[in-house]
Amino acid sequence: MATKEDFFNHIEKGYTTKGEHIVMGAAMLNGEAVTNAHVKVPLKTMNRHGLIAGATGTGKTKTLQVLAENLSDKGVPVLLMDLKGDLSGIAQASEGHPKIDERHAKIGLPFEPKSFPVEILSLSEQDGVKLRATVSEFGPVLLSRILDLTVTQEGIVAVVFKYCDDNKLPLLDLKDFKKVLQYATGEGKAEFAKDYGRISSSSTGAILRKIIELEQQGAELFFGEKSFEVDDLTRVDENGRGYINIIRLTDIQDRPKLFSTFMLSLLAEIYGTFPEQGDSDRPELILFIDEAHLIFNEASKALLEQIESIVKLIRSKGIGLYFVTQNPTDVPDAVLSQLGLKVQHALRAFTAKDRKAIKLTAENYPDSEYYDTKEVLTSLGIGEALVSALDEKGRPTPLAATLLRAPMSRMDVLTDTELKDLISSSKLVKKYGDIIDRESAYEILNEKIEKAEAEAEKEKAKPRTRARKSSYTRQNPVIKVLTSATFIRGVLGVLKKVIR
């Protein structure tokens, strides 16, 4: 039987870190925390992504809060996708509680209540920094993925982008894009066919229907200007603490398409903007996605592939993605296999399916002579989790059932007044406040169509004027003679002679 001392040495050795790190709590043996057997995650490997999983009420969101606060404290900015609206409390210090003191005494870590610099962002009508992106920033490939288009339809989208590029038609919002699509098979059909090939109206019709579907989820609020600059996510406050950016997504749960559209555009934009990091000692930005099953469950195959490839590539830019979800099986295997930090809270074994999930989950953790992983998975208490991280050399740390530290900030949400005050004092809210609808494809094409129609009107009007004239000439014998064919021929004959 392993002694407590062996275990302490095992943990201490496995979690030695030279550089900056986050203490998550103390390792537990036989269900009891071993004081000072600290479980540490090095900042150096936090760009290697992570997973926080476990049944409802086991402490996943609080673990997210603990990681976010401690990253901020170390100067690393954070972005939180808050789907349930329970994270705003980070902007206020914890009120403290005897139970928290007890927890921290067991861990061997002083408890320091603190508030953190918070920025509130929003994708919808809710207050906060408005997040927007233009259709052209989105690009034809991403837009086609989001709309789940066929290869033919994707080709049309690419041509439409090319046409707009060639003709200096800015594609800002969905209104612009729809207008160009309609134009390509309507008024501008001939022009399009000449330079870009014929486009079938049944294909553009199908694309338009997909856009309308996206609009029904409120996407027109997201597409447009002023587009959000992702550099604004990496701000640090006057004390050198990273900003915790909270995107409130409480009203987006029933709009999964909008959510995945936004997620994908954000990741692509971050990937395109941030420089390569090389071998860095700390991450640039950490993203947490609470209730992550919402993006994976509703995502199309194409979208999933896009997410998978971004997950693989983005860590070289110093960006870490952390998924928070009930069951690890919610996350696609290709993503799961990329994760460095795993924090597994308790799972419940109610059904046969649950037991199967537990078995699968246990198999994904390194073996430990100190634990029966399957057994531990079902017996962990609230605010306790199985942790496995990567050490500074990128090797997996020993598996540790961990009594997790408590958040230093408030575990509850902000009051309405606190939230209002926070938002009204934000500089970014002002920067991105107004919706700009400058002249873009929609207006330019409308003008072009109007002009063409006016021309056509004039053309149509011409024969009518001639008709009026001819009725006048018919009445006037002098004019009749002057314009008659024989008279003109006669004059021309005279002129020719004169010229010769």
Ligand X SMILES: Nc1ncnc2c1ncn2[C@@H]1O[C@H](COP(=O)(O)OP(=O)(O)O)[C@@H](O)[C@H]1O
User: Minimum CB separation from Mg ion for residue 166, in Å?
Assistant: 49
Structure tokens at 64: 């997210």
What is the Cα–Cα distance from 135 to 45, expressed in whole angstroms? 35
325 contributes a contact to Mg ion by CB under 5 A: no
Angle at 439 between CA 433 and CA 443, to 5 degrees: 125
- Find which of ligand X, Mg ion, none residue 493 binds, CB within 5 to 8 Å per kind: none
For residue 78, list its beta bridge partners: 244, 286
Q: Which two tokens stand for residue 443?
A: 């207006």
CB burial class (10 A; 0-12, 13-18, 19+) of residue 300?
A: middle
Number of H helices, E strands in the chain: 19, 12
Minimum distance from CB of 103 to ligand X (Å)? 6
**Is residue 58 at the binding interface for ligand X, with CB under 6 A as the rule?**
yes
Q: Which residue's CB is nearer to Mg ion, number 49 or number 60?
A: 60
Q: Does 14 bind ligand X (CB under 6 A)?
A: no
Buried-exposed string 22-54: b where 16+ CB fall within 10 A, e elsewhere: bbbbbbbbeeebbeebbbbbbbbbbbbbbbbbb
Q: Using CB distances below 5 to 8 A depending on partner kind, what does residue 382 bind out of ligand X, Mg ion, none?
A: ligand X
Q: How many residues bind ligand X (CB under 6 A)?
A: 14
404 binds, among Mg ion, ligand X, none (CB under 5 to 8 A by kind): ligand X
- The nearest distance, CB 61 to ligand X, in angstroms, is 3
- Binding partner selected for residue 158 from Mg ion, ligand X, none, CB under the kind-specific 5 to 8 Å limit: none
Residues 6+ positions from 9 with CB-CB distance below 8 Å: none
Q: Which stretch binds Mg ion (CB under 5 A): 56-64, 245-253, 304-312, 396-404?
A: 56-64
Q: Is 61 a residue that touches ligand X (CB under 6 A)?
A: yes
Does the footprint of ligand X cover residue 96 (CB under 6 A)? Answer: no
Least separation in angstroms between residue 118's CB and ligand X is 18
Q: Which is nearer to ligand X, 63 or 144 (CB)?
A: 63
Bridge pairing between strands 118-122 and 341-344: unpaired
Least distance from Mg ion to the Cβ atom of residue 439, Å? 45
**Nearest to ligand X of 61, 234 (CB atom):** 61
59 binds ligand X (CB under 6 A): yes
Q: Which is nearer to ligand X, 54 or 140 (CB)?
A: 54
Output the CA–CA distances (angstroms, integers) from residue 353 to 327, 349, 350, 364, in the order listed: 12, 8, 8, 17
Distance CA 298, CA 309 (A): 18
Please report the sign of the dihedral spanned by the C-alpha atoms of residue 440, residue 442, residue 448, residue 450: negative
Please, what is the minimum distance in Å from the beta carbon of residue 81 to Mg ion? 12
Contact stretch for Mg ion (CB under 5 A) within 53-61, 256-264, 266-274, 446-454 = 53-61
Q: Is 57 in the site for ligand X (CB under 6 A)?
A: yes
Q: How many residues bind Mg ion (CB under 5 A)?
A: 2
| Alpha-carbon gap, residue 207 to 143, rounded angstroms | 11
Cα distance from N-terminal residue to C-terminal residue, the chain: 126
Distance in angstroms (rounded) separating the CA atoms of residues 283 and 75: 10
From the list 9, 1, 61, the residue with the least C-alpha distance to 345 is 61
CB 27 within 8 A of CB 43: no
Residue 383 interacting with ligand X (CB under 6 A): yes
Beta sheet of 32-42, edge-to-edge order? 32-42, 21-29, 400-404, 384-388, 341-344, 50-53, 319-325, 285-289, 78-82, 244-248, 118-122, 129-130
Judged by CB under 5 A, which stretch of 40-48, 55-63, 72-80, 252-260 contacts Mg ion?
55-63
406 contributes a contact to ligand X by CB under 6 A: yes
Q: How far is the CB of 269 from ligand X (least distance, A)?
A: 28
**Looking at the DSSP assignment, which residues form a beta bridge with residue 158?**
none
Window contacting Mg ion (CB under 5 A); options: 32-40, 57-65, 438-446, 472-480: 57-65
The alpha carbon dihedral of 466, 468, 470, 473 has a sign of negative
Please name the residues in contact with 394: beta carbons below 8 A apart, sequence gap of 6 or more: 45, 48
Instruction: Indicate whether 61 belongs to the interface with Mg ion (CB under 5 A).
Output: yes
Instruction: Note whether 54 binds ligand X by CB under 6 A.
Output: yes
Q: Which of the listed partners (ligand X, Mg ion, none) does 14 bind, with a CB threshold of 5 to 8 Å by partner kind?
A: none
Could you say whether residue 110 binds ligand X (CB under 6 A)?
Answer: no
Q: Is 56 in the site for ligand X (CB under 6 A)?
A: yes
Please tell me whether residue 245 binds Mg ion under the rule CB under 5 A.
no
Identify which range of 234-242, 332-340, 404-412, 452-460 contacts ligand X by CB under 6 A: 404-412
429 binds ligand X (CB under 6 A): no
Nearer to ligand X, 68 or 406 (CB): 406
- Which residue, 336 or 411, has its beta carbon nearer to ligand X? 411
Interface residues with Mg ion (CB under 5 A)? 60-61
Interface residues with ligand X (CB under 6 A)? 54, 56-62, 66, 382-383, 404, 406, 411
